């Protein structure tokens, strides 16, 4: 069966420039991540007996399933996990890269349905049809442009309509853009990275949140952030570079948006203390995907060097911490935490990311 596709509204806004001309390919000292593009290879397992004893930076999403699964369904290839069986999931930016790998592994884990929300629904449909992933018929493709408030509202409304008599169990805020060389604004004047990576997800999450809070079962909100938040210089009163003394820098803007992801999760967790909703942020690793399209040319020596010497994880490994955040039972006790390599990693947060007095998170909210 083919995946269902729903297009809504006008998503003519582009979240990034399409040309690499004139880009400075000097990468920052601390490499950013959050990846949402390029296809991934499959990894298959024939036995559940060799469960990973401990998850680490080399673990894949399927390793996470095997650790928490009690069985391997040899007939259909699934690796069912109690925390995923029968769940309804929403993944943004799932048409390629880490988002697509996340969806592939969630399907193997036994979820009931996945909403793949992205701008390019044609690419999402083609990816699903050509990749031949298992259980693709459980995927519903919806149009979502995180730069457009009407598009965000329409996508959320469609999910709420479809799940009126069901739950929304897992929301993965995975979509993102990184380091466009020139300042790009949406129709509201918002800088594109802050608008896409943080503000669009903030609005989308809050549209789905009342239903998730009202449910009688546990649910999770997973925000893909980045270790590059440590380089942020975020002026909350000028997040969109309007002041003359706060000039736009591609990497500064990216780091600011990733710090906003971290602070958003902390503020959200505080507001969810008396609910069954858990919210976490995570660092996926440095993964060579289309997220780097503004940084690396598609061909030549530089992308090859990047993959060999800079990237520290493959796409299956890069999705592992996201799958851990969705499926691991212990994560329900980690609301507000920062994860890395399938474990709690609050010590990796910057001073601003830790936000000890809670002031930054509340200012941002």
Q: How do strand 338-340 and strand 343-344 relate by DSSP bridges?
A: antiparallel
Q: State yes or no: is 248 an active-site residue.
A: yes
Given the residues 68, 188, 248, 254, select the one marked as catalytic. 248
Using CA atoms, how far apart are residues 308 and 288, in angstroms rounded to an integer?
A: 10
The set of residues, in sequence order, having a beta carbon less than 8 Å from that of 169 and lying 6+ positions away, is 87, 88, 89, 217, 218, 219, 220
Angstrom distance (rounded) from CA 249 to CA 170:
34
> What is the C-alpha separation between 118 and 112, in angstroms, rounded?
20
**Does residue 197 contact residue 234 with C-beta atoms inside 8 Å?**
no
Question: 273-276, long-range: CB within 8 Å, 24+ apart, which pairs?
Answer: 273/335, 275/213, 276/213, 276/215, 276/216, 276/217, 276/218, 276/219
Largest CA distance in the chain: 62
Active site residues: 248
């Amino acid at each position: 069966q083919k995946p269902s596709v729903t297009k809504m509204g006008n998503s003519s806004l582009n979240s990034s420039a399409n040309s690499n001309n004139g880009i400075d390919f000097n990468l920052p000292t601390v490499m950013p991540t959050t990846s949402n593009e390029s296809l991934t290879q499959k990894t298959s397992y024939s036995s559940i007996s060799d469960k990973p004893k401990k998850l680490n930076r080399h673990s894949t999403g399927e390793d996470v399933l095997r650790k928490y699964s009690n069985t391997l369904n040899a007939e259909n290839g699934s690796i069912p996990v109690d925390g995923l069986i029968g769940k309804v999931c929403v993944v943004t930016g799932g048409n390629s890269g880490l988002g697509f790998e996340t969806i592939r592994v969630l399907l193997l884990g036994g979820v009931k349905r996945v909403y793949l929300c992205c701008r390019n629904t044609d690419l999402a449909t083609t990816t699903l049809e050509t990749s031949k992933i298992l259980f693709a018929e459980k995927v519903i493709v919806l149009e979502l442009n995180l730069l457009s408030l009407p598009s965000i509202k329409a996508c959320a409304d469609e999910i709420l309509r479809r799940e009126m008599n069901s739950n929304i169990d897992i929301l993965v805020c995975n979509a993102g853009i990184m380091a466009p060389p020139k300042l790009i604004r949406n129709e509201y004047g918002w800088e594109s990275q802050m608008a896409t990576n943080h503000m669009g997800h903030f609005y989308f999450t809050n549209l789905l949140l009342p239903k998730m809070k009202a449910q009688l079962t546990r649910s999770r909100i997973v925000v893909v952030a980045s270790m590059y938040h440590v380089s942020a210089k975020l002026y909350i009163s000028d997040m969109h570079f309007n002041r003359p003394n706060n000039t736009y820098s591609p990497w500064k803007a990216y780091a600011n948006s990733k710090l906003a992801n971290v602070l958003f999760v902390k503020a959200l967790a505080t507001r969810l203390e008396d609910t069954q909703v858990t919210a976490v942020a995570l660092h996926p690793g440095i993964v060579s995907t289309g997220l780097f399209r503004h940084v690396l040319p598609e061909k030549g020596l530089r992308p090859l060097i990047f993959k060999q010497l800079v990237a520290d994880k493959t796409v299956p490994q890069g999705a592992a911490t996201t799958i851990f955040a969705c499926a691991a039972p212990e994560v329900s006790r980690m609301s507000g935490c920062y994860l890395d390599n399938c474990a709690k990693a609050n010590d990796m947060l910057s001073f601003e990311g830790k936000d000890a007095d809670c002031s930054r998170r509340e200012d941002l909210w």
